[in-house]
Amino acid sequence: MRTTCKPKTHPHDDAPDTAQDFVRLAELPEGPQRRALRDELVELWLPMAERIAVRFRGRGETAEDLYQVAALGLVKAVDHYDPARGRAFEAYAVPTITGEIKRHFRDHMWTLHVPRRVQELRNRVRGALKELGQTAPGHPPTVAEIAARAQLTESEVRAGMEALECYSALSLDAEVLGGDGCALGDTLGAPDPGYDLIVDRTAAEPCLQGLPERDRLILYLRFFRGMTQSRIAEQLGISQMHVSRLLSACFDRLREDLLAEAG
């Protein structure tokens, strides 16, 4: 099959003239001949798909993956194009391929789950920023200017601007700006064991109040003053062995009381 180029018919100079080929494809039944013609049409229009993919570079996806997604969109366009509607294939294929790439970004490239409405706001804000940057270079646009250009409210613009940062997440090892070498992970909080201690003390307080005064004093000296059993024994005028037995008895009673309350 021979193809000829008609530069004046298509926006791209190397766009092939495949109108008759698509008419023939629509008439062919399923089989090897139809599959071969379909594959040939995909190959002929592949340069256009790659040009579309190039427009989306620099957004966190590799060029190779973008080409593959664009090629998938092209295959879908070839499979679903109906020449009987009188529309040029290129006019049908461009939005089909572009939509496939945008869906890829929406479904696979967002680290955080962002509602579709917010993604749409992001795209409109991004487009407005690009237009304002061309009309007033060197002048950072205000939220009000972006809202006027994108025909959004200022609140919607802020939501869209926040979504601009949601394509990818920073590594916890990333250095915090102005943090003197501090990593992002170093700024994150962690469970505070002090909270568990407060809960335990609150639960044990009624049980402690039920102990004899000397037992409470021994526990206070041991665990709040940090005194050894020998020093406690010396202060109370009893043996260290006696202090050890009293502590063990306190522990057993407290354990029983706490288990009884929990039950």
CA–CA gap between residue 187 and residue 81 (Å, rounded): 54
Q: Look at the block and give the residue holding tokens 């040009």.
A: 51
Domain count, the chain: 3
Q: Is residue 185 part of a domain?
A: no
Residues 139 and 159 in one domain: yes
Segments forming the whole domain that contains residue 77: 19-108
Answer yes or no: are the C-beta atoms of 89 and 22 closer than 8 Å.
yes
Answer yes or no: are the C-beta atoms of 95 and 51 closer than 8 Å.
no
Residues 33 and 104 in one domain: yes
pTM of the model: 0.43
Buried b (16+ CB within 10 A) or exposed e, 76-98: ebbeebebeeeebbbebbbebbb
**For each of the chain's 263 residues, which pLDDT tens digit applies?**
444 433 334 445 557 888 899 999 989 899 999 999 999 999 999 999 999 998 888 776 788 888 999 999 999 999 999 988 888 898 889 999 998 888 887 666 655 566 778 778 888 888 888 888 888 767 788 889 899 988 999 899 888 887 776 655 556 666 665 556 677 667 776 777 777 778 777 877 888 888 889 898 998 899 888 999 999 999 999 999 999 999 999 888 888 887 887 66
Answer yes or no: are the C-beta atoms of 44 and 16 closer than 8 Å.
yes
Determine the length of the chain.
263
| Domain CATH number, residue 28 | 1.10.1740.10
